[in-house]
């Protein structure tokens, strides 16, 4: 396994200085990690490429055993993993457990079990006359070296989690975690090593943006999760080498509450999906549209539930509901969106301010009297805010929900599930939940990916592992005539006869 040991300043592309990792809930510096330069990333890539063929040769069973032993390691070390995640993100212990530890365990199980089926050779049938009697096959082969570049909000789920299908497909992986949250990736790499992952198959390249950029240059495919802005940079750079990319980007997920909704469930779901992980979830509820007849009742329920939330330093299970703001500039963005909304006529009925103390907090905030002139309704806030807008009817709600450059997720609440599904089908988003929020992410069988500016490609499901492979079509001619009808020399008589045959076959206007 690749390591990120000490680095020395150097003129030939090596690292310059280390990176301090901070606990956002306390403000304390808890570790330093190396800031790898391009030369060091290239060296990791070379070693990973050398290790990859033996890893691929191990086969699905051998690789699955490593995954399952990693799962055991994860459970044996659950508290240590949770503490590490909490220490560098400032999230609550429950958020670290339910949305990271549990995701990790289920992803290890899922890919160990399903990778072989998703990547098995497929027999293909064709209606082409030219290939009658021939054997057609589609097969998958690992790309070689995959680069996974991850964000700071889910250091296990959205960094390490995306390495698992790439590894199960038989690739080596370089993981570049966010500079803000590198410790979880380093710990999980240690776990995989303890579980028997061969040396150098998974390398952790700690560093900043330039380290990520070096990873893009060094690999055969990039799985990127992060902001739309950086995603575009990654795609532009990857175009130079025609390196394929899969991009999981930002979101501004809408929730629609129809007049016949179960308001208690809708309000509980809204509060959870807007404020869990401090609102720092790509698929968190970022704006809510409520039909006029139930608007006041819905807001009253949301306000009561939000007031009851406990925020502070996450010290153990049950200590707090909402943790800290992980990334320093994010607190400014949240404050700017809230101030912009208030300046344009919105009201913060709960919260609205940064928290006090050496740690970085922003109060869970409910905004009303909002509209689409406000940044809080149109730009990704990525913090604990819930702007709620009154709408005349479902048509207006759908129109406003779709009035966004993003299209990651969304939700609709109604007791009429048929109508809920009809509304969901009209929402421009990669995933829509009816009477639920965000939980589609737990179904690893279901693809998860964004429309519009929210991404390209998807994770999970068959496509979530096939994207880490080259596909190869194989055609085998079992019969060996000396000459086929399409071979040289071309003869007018044969060609005219063929044309008569084609007319008989395709000359009708209707279905075959
Ligand atoms: P960023 O885009 O800022 O960073 C993502 C990663 O890219 C980090 O590791 C970063 O390194 C690295 N990076 C920065 N510059 C470059 C570059 N030029 N080339 C290659 N890599 C680079 O995103 P955030 O970390 O701020 O994450 C938050 C964003 O992620 C939100 O928009 C959120 O919606 C999105 N997200 C999307 C998800 C999805 O599934 N669609 C899931 C989770 C989050 P460094 O941190 O060291 O600068």
Residue 3 included in any domain: no
Q: Is the CB of 167 under 6 A from ligand 1?
A: no
- Tell me whether residue 79 is one of the annotated catalytic residues: no
Residue with the smallest CA separation from ligand 1 atom 28 is 226
Instruction: Give the pLDDT score at 47.
Output: 98
Higher-pLDDT residue of 153 and 130 is 153
What's the mean pLDDT in 18-39? 97
Q: How confident is the model at residue 356 (pLDDT cuts 50, 70, 90)?
A: confident
Cα(63) to centroid of ligand 1, in Å?
29
Is the per-residue pLDDT at 255 higher than 50?
yes
Query: pLDDT tens digit string along 202-228?
Result: 999 999 999 999 999 999 999 999 999
Instruction: Give the pLDDT score at 14.
Output: 42
Is the per-residue pLDDT at 134 higher than 70?
yes
d(CA 172, CA 382): 32
Which domain, by its residues, includes 418?
253-445
Atom in ligand 1 nearest the alpha carbon of residue 233: 18
Q: Is the CB of 153 under 6 A from ligand 1?
A: yes
Q: Are residue 293 and residue 438 in the same domain, yes or no?
A: yes
Instruction: Give the pLDDT score at 11.
Output: 36
Instruction: Give the pLDDT score at 42.
Output: 98
Q: Are residue 317 and residue 416 in the same domain, yes or no?
A: yes
d(CA 130, CA 133): 9
Query: 22, 282, 375, 380: which is the annotated catalytic residue?
Result: 282
What's the mean pLDDT in 280-304? 98
Is the per-residue pLDDT at 12 higher than 80?
no
CB-count burial class (<10 Å; 0-12, 13-18, 19+) for 217? middle
Tokens 């901070």 found at = 22
Closest C-alpha among 238, 138, 215 to residue 470: 138
Q: Are residue 229 and residue 330 in the same domain, yes or no?
A: no
Residue 481 included in any domain: no
d(CA 504, CA 512): 11
Q: Is the CB of 109 under 6 A from ligand 1?
A: no
Instruction: Give the pLDDT score at 1.
Output: 42
Q: Are residue 209 and residue 269 in the same domain, yes or no?
A: no
Is the per-residue pLDDT at 65 higher than 50?
yes
399: CATH? 3.40.309.10
Cα(227) to centroid of ligand 1, in Å?
5
Q: Is the CB of 456 under 6 A from ligand 1?
A: no
- Tell me whether residue 282 is one of the annotated catalytic residues: yes
Question: Structurally, how many domains does the chain consist of?
Answer: 2
Instruction: Give the pLDDT score at 17.
Output: 64
What's the mean pLDDT in 377-384? 98
Q: Is the CB of 208 under 6 A from ligand 1?
A: yes
What percentage of the chain has pLDDT greater than the value 90?
94
Q: Are residue 267 and residue 345 in the same domain, yes or no?
A: yes
Instruction: Give the pLDDT score at 412.
Output: 98
Q: Are residue 211 and residue 81 in the same domain, yes or no?
A: yes
Query: pLDDT tens digit string along 305-336?
Result: 999 999 999 999 999 999 999 999 999 999 99
Cα(151) to centroid of ligand 1, in Å?
4
Two tokens, residue 373:
């002139």
Q: How confident is the model at residue 24 (pLDDT cuts 50, 70, 90)?
A: very high
Is the per-residue pLDDT at 373 higher than 60?
yes
Instruction: Give the pLDDT score at 511.
Output: 84
Q: Are residue 232 and residue 303 in the same domain, yes or no?
A: no
What percentage of the chain has pLDDT greater than the value 70?
97
Residue with the smallest CA separation from ligand 1 atom 19 is 213
Q: Are residue 150 and residue 187 in the same domain, yes or no?
A: yes
Query: pLDDT tens digit string along 330-355?
Result: 999 999 999 999 999 999 999 999 99
Q: Are residue 72 and residue 182 in the same domain, yes or no?
A: yes
Q: Is the CB of 23 under 6 A from ligand 1?
A: no
Residue with the smallest CA separation from ligand 1 atom 13 is 209
Query: 88, 94, 248, 286: which is the annotated catalytic residue?
Result: 248
Closest C-alpha among 167, 159, 134 to residue 68: 167
174: CATH? 3.40.605.10
- Average pLDDT over the chain reads 95
Atom in ligand 1 nearest the alpha carbon of residue 231: 2
The answer to whether 311 and 350 have CB atoms below 8 angstroms apart is no
Residue with the smallest CA separation from ligand 1 atom 34 is 250
Q: Is the CB of 250 under 6 A from ligand 1?
A: yes
Query: pLDDT tens digit string along 449-459?
Result: 999 999 999 99
């Amino acid at each position: 396994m690749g390591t990120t040991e000490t680095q020395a300043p150097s003129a030939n592309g090596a690292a310059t200085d280390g990176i301090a990792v901070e606990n956002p809930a306390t403000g304390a510096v808890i570790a330093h990690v190396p800031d790898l330069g391009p030369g060091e990333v290239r060296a990791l890539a070379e070693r990973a490429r050398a290790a990859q063929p033996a890893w691929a040769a191990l086969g699905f069973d051998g690789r699955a055993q490593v995954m399952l032993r990693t799962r055991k390691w994860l459970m044996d070390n659950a508290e240590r993993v949770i503490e590490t995640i909490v220490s560098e993100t400032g999230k609550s212990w429950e958020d670290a457990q339910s949305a990271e530890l549990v995701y990790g365990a289920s992803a290890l199980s899922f890919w160990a079990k399903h990778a072989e089926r998703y990547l098995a050779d497929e027999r293909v049938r064709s209606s082409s006359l030219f290939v009658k009697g021939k054997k057609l096959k589609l097969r998958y082969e690992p790309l070689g070296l995959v680069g996974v570049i991850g964000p700071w909000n889910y250091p296990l789920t959205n960094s390490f989690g995306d390495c698992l299908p790439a590894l199960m497909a038989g690739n080596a992986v370089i993981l570049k975690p966010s500079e803000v949250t590198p410790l979880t990736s380093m710990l999980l790499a240690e776990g995989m090593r303890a579980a028997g992952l061969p040396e150098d198959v998974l390398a952790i390249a700690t560093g900043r943006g330039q380290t990520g950029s070096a990873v893009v240059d060094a690999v055969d495919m990039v799985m990127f999760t992060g902001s739309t802005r950086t995603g575009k940079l990654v795609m532009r750079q990857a175009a130079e080498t025609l390196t394929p990319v899969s991009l999981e980007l930002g979101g501004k997920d809408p929730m629609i509450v129809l007049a016949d909704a179960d308001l208690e469930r809708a309000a509980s779901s809204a509060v959870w999906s807007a404020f869990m992980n401090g609102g720092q979830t790509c698929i968190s509820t970022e704006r809510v549209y409520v039909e006029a007849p139930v608007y006041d009742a819905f807001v009253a329920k949301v306000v009561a539930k939000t007031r009851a939330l406990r925020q502070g330093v996450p010290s153990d299970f049950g200590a707090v509901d909402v943790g800290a703001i992980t990334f320093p500039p994010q607190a400014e963005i949240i404050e700017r969106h809230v101030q912009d909304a208030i300046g344009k006529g919105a009201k913060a009925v709960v919260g609205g301010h940064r928290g006090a103390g050496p740690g970085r907090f922003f109060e869970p905030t409910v905004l009303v009297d909002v509209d689409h002139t406000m940044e809080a309704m149109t730009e990704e806030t990525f913090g604990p805010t819930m702007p709620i807008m009154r709408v005349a009817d479902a048509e207006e709600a759908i129109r406003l929900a779709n009035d966004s450059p993003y299209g990651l997720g969304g939700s609709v609440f109604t007791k009429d599930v048929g109508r809920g599904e009809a509304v969901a089908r009209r929402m421009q988003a990669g995933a829509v939940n009816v009477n639920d929020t965000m939980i589609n992410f737990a179904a690893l069988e279901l693809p998860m990916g964004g429309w519009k500016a929210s991404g390209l490609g998807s994770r999970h499901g068959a496509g979530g592992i096939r994207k880490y492979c080259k596909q190869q079509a194989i055609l085998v001619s079992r019969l060996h005539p000396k000459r086929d009808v399409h071979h040289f020399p071309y003869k007018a008589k044969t060609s005219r006869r063929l044309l008569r045959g084609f007319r008989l076959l395709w000359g009708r206007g209707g279905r075959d």
